[in-house]
């Protein structure tokens, strides 16, 4: 049963189903390169035959070798559909401990994860590539296949952790810590197919001899994939573009479907995005996607042009304070305008310098010195360049260091201009992930200047320095430096209020308890937990409102424990960083020489009216004190 289970779950995250890449007459041939000795057989099944997911996202990145790739798949199952998934999976474990009992367990989940990669490797991707002119069938397709060693699986919420109906697994052979929930729970779930750690591919195919430099066609059978998006990205190949594409139903072009779109990424790669829709109930109709690629130049191609937002000729583009590849800016995506996509290329006379743009147009610079001038142009996918080439100076504009002041209250941040830019204005502040100190601004020069950055409002712990350097003729340099600095926690401060007689305690009329009040403040703004100790007991039932605190302190434990007045009271305040402060006072019992709080009782008006005779202090009094003490003990810290 486990092989069937694995197939069902993992077909959700893979486009591998029983349908061939094309129709029955031109089905791609199975390859012989399967991984290892297979003890599971997941071929010939389709998840879509048994279950409909809500949405799936498949991404395929072809590697530069044009022989391997990385497939990532995510599938979402929501509401009542997720309950159907759990029930189907559980039923497939019939005959095993805890199987088919209407509960889905973490053991069943781990079985899927363990055998899944081998199962997926036995499936077909339903993707094929064929070199040459446009193909629509009747050819031997070069199939993509999964690679077991490159496959990793994950899921989210198949067995919801901490669910209100969660229980320990009831199966006799369940593992330690096994948990299970009813298959009827409707919590949304996700299933993921990923690239395994330290691997660079999880699919492969016979390397294209032309490596994308001439015409080829990609085909995919999308039958029964009800709602998904396919995103395919191809390596950089000069002039590679889509020449034709479309969906075909039983071999006939379906013009009513939304056609896939293609785009050129700033790093030079070509991406194709296809929305896949197969109406429920349409089977056995075969729906296929065909995409034709070519490197032939289009009939017309407008050269890219600089946009008004692009840096002017001679602009300084600041980089980091180290050598190697560094992010220069995340705002380069609109520097050049071109319908065919574009990337920035720069020519340096100094060796070791280079620029590149990633797929989201972040500009990275590889530095090999303090600064260098690059002659830069925008270049589109077909090699057309901006008419104007612009000279940009890339360089390290400042050095920076920081230490804590002797008081630990501020960061002493020192910046020194390297001279690449003149009149460098630096604005910086102490920074944490969710908090920041006030900004400080200064103009630095070659001699350097020290800026005091206040850490007011920051929590104890790691602190970085964040800010911006600006200069005329230079792009703004935004920085975040981690100098290994840490704000040290300071303990809270406690005060206790006194009355007109100079006493801290306000006793109640029966003399059985007193009230203390005061203020507590933490210099770092952290929350403070307070604890009071008296006569061998502790209490945490403080009423705290902003800085003020108050607590009622019964003395039953002091009486029961034969403690004598004055009673020693210790109050401890501890902040979130574990720093604490304490204060000790002596509280005089105003009735210590009387009998009101020595274990005796007071007769009520009702008892006197009925002429009740109360027992003398003895067992009953001891019991009463014990009950009061129990109420006191209930306030102890857990």
What is the domain-level CATH number for residue 535? 2.60.40.10
What is the average per-residue pLDDT within 208-225?
90
Rounded CA-CA distance 321/325 in Å is: 11
Residue 41 has pLDDT above 70, yes or no: no
Q: Rounded mean pLDDT of the chain?
A: 83
List, for residues 147-178, the tens digit of each pLDDT value: 999 998 888 999 999 999 999 998 888 889 99
Phi, psi of 110 (to 5 degrees): -65, -30
What pLDDT is attached to residue 100? 80
- Return the CATH number at 473: 2.60.40
480 vs 317: CA distance, rounded Å: 17
Q: Are residues 430 and 324 in the same domain?
A: no
Phi and psi at residue 229, to the nearest 5°: -125, 135
Number of structural domains (the chain) is: 4
- Name the residue among 367, 313, 365 with its Cα closest to residue 335: 313
Instruction: Please tell me whether residues 329 and 417 are part of one structural domain.
Output: no
* Tokens, residue 163: 């669910």
Residue 466 has pLDDT above 60, yes or no: yes
Task: Note whether residue 101 is domain-resident.
Answer: yes
Q: Do 290 and 337 belong together in one domain?
A: no
Quick one: 150 and 275 in the same domain? Answer: yes
Asked if residue 148 belongs to a domain, the reply is: yes
Three-class secondary structure of residue 609 per DSSP: helix
The residue from 269, 294, 319 where one domain ends is 294
Residues 377 and 282 in one domain: no
483 and 533 in a single domain? The answer is: no
Q: Of 365, 396, 427, which residue constitutes the final position of a domain?
A: 396
- Check whether the bond before 284 is cis (ω within 30° of 0): yes
User: Within this chain, do residues 329 and 348 fall inside the same structural domain, yes or no?
Assistant: yes
Instruction: Judge whether 300 lies within some domain.
Output: no
Expressed as residue numbers, the domain containing 111 is 2-28+42-294
Would 537 be classed as within a structural domain? yes
Same domain? 391 vs 404: no
Phi/psi of residue 494, each to 5°?
-115, 140
Per-residue pLDDT, averaged over 231-246, amounts to 92
**What counts of helices (H) and strands (E) characterise the chain?**
6, 42
Task: Look at residue 536 and tell me if it is in a domain.
Answer: yes
Q: Are residues 363 and 404 in the same domain?
A: no
Residue 299 lies in a domain: no
- 525-540 pLDDT per residue, tens: 889 999 999 999 999 9
Residue 193 confidence (pLDDT) above 60: yes
Same domain? 182 vs 122: yes
Would 638 be classed as within a structural domain? no
* 155-179: b (≥16 Cβ within 10 Å) or e: beebbbeeeeebeebebeebeeebb
Same domain, 456 and 569: no
Within a domain: 37: no
485-522 exposure pattern, b = at least 16 Cβ within 10 A, e = fewer: bebebbbbebebeeeeeeebbebeeebebbebbbebeb
Residues 15, 155, single domain; the answer is: yes
Residue 383 makes CB contacts below 8 A (sequence gap 6+) with: 238, 239
Domain boundary among 329, 362, 396: 396
Percentage of the chain with pLDDT > 70?
Answer: 84
């Amino acid at each position: 049963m486990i092989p069937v289970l694995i197939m069902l779950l993992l077909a959700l995250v893979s486009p591998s189903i029983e349908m061939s890449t094309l129709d029955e007459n031109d089905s791609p041939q199975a390859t012989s390169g399967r991984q290892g000795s297979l003890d599971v057989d997941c071929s010939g099944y389709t998840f879509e035959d048994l279950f409909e997911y809500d949405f799936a996202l498949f991404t395929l990145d072809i590697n530069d070798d044009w022989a391997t790739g990385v497939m990532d798949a995510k599938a979402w199952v929501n509401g009542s559909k997720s309950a159907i998934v759990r029930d189907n999976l559980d039923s497939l474990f019939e005959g095993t401990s805890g199987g088919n009992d209407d509960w889905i367990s973490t053991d069943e989940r781990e079985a899927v994860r363990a055998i899944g990669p081998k199962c997926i490797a036995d499936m077909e991707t339903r993707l094929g590539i064929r070199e040459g002119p446009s193909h629509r069938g009747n050819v031997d397709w070069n199939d993509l296949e999964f690679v077991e060693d490159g496959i990793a699986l994950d899921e989210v919420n198949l067995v919801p952790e901490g669910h209100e109906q969660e229980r320990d697994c009831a199966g006799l052979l369940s593992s330690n810590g096994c948990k299970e929930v009813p298959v009827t729970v409707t919590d949304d779930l996700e299933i993921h197919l990923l690239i395994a750690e330290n691997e660079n591919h999880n699919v492969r195919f016979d390397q294209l001899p032309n490596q994308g430099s001439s015409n080829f066609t990609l085909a995919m059978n999308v039958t029964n994939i009800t709602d998904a998006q396919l995103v395919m990205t191809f390596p950089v190949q000069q002039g590679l573009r889509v020449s034709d594409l479309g969906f075909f139903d039983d071999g006939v072009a379906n013009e009513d479907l939304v056609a896939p779109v293609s785009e050129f990424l700033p790093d030079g790669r070509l991406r194709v995005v296809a929305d896949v829709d197969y109406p429920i109930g349409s089977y056995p109709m075969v729906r296929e996607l065909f995409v034709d690629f070519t490197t032939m130049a289009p009939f017309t191609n407008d050269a890219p042009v600089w946009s008004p937002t692009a840096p002017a000729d001679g602009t300084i583009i600041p980089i980091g304070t180290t050598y190697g590849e560094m992010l220069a800016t995340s705002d380069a995506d609109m520097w050049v305008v071109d319908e065919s996509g574009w990337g920035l290329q720069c020519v340096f006379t100094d060796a070791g310098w280079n620029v590149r743009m990633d797929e989201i147009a972040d500009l990275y610079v590889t530095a090999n010195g303090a600064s260098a001038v690059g002659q830069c142009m925008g270049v589109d996918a077909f090699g057309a360049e901006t008419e104007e080439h612009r000279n940009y100076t890339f360089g390290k504009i400042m050095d920076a260091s920081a230490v804590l002041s002797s008081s630990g209250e501020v960061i002493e941040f020192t910046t020194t201009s390297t001279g690449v830019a003149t009149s460098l204005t630096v604005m910086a502040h102490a920074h944490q992930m969710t908090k920041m100190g006030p900004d400080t601004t200064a103009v630095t020069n070659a001699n350097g200047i020290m800026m005091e950055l206040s850490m007011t409002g920051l929590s104890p712990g790691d602190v970085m320095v964040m800010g911006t350097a600006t200069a005329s003729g230079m792009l703004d340099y935004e920085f975040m430096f981690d100098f290994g600095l840490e704000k040290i926690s300071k303990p809270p401060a406690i005060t206790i209020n006194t009355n007109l007689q100079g006493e801290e305690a306000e006793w109640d009329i029966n003399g059985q308890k007193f009230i203390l009040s005061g203020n507590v403040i933490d210099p770092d703004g952290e929350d403070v937990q307070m604890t009071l100790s008296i006569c061998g007991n502790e209490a945490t039932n403080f009423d705290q409102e902003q800085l003020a605190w108050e607590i009622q302190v019964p003395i039953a434990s002091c009486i029961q424990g034969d403690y004598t007045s004055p009673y020693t009271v210790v109050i401890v305040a501890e902040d979130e960083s574990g720093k604490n402060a304490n204060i000790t006072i002596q509280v005089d019992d105003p009735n210590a020489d009387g009998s009101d709080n020595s274990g005796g009782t007071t007769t009520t008006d009702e008892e006197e009216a009925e002429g009740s005779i109360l027992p003398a202090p003895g067992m009953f009094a001891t019991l009463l004190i014990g009950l009061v003490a129990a109420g006191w003990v209930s306030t102890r810290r857990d």
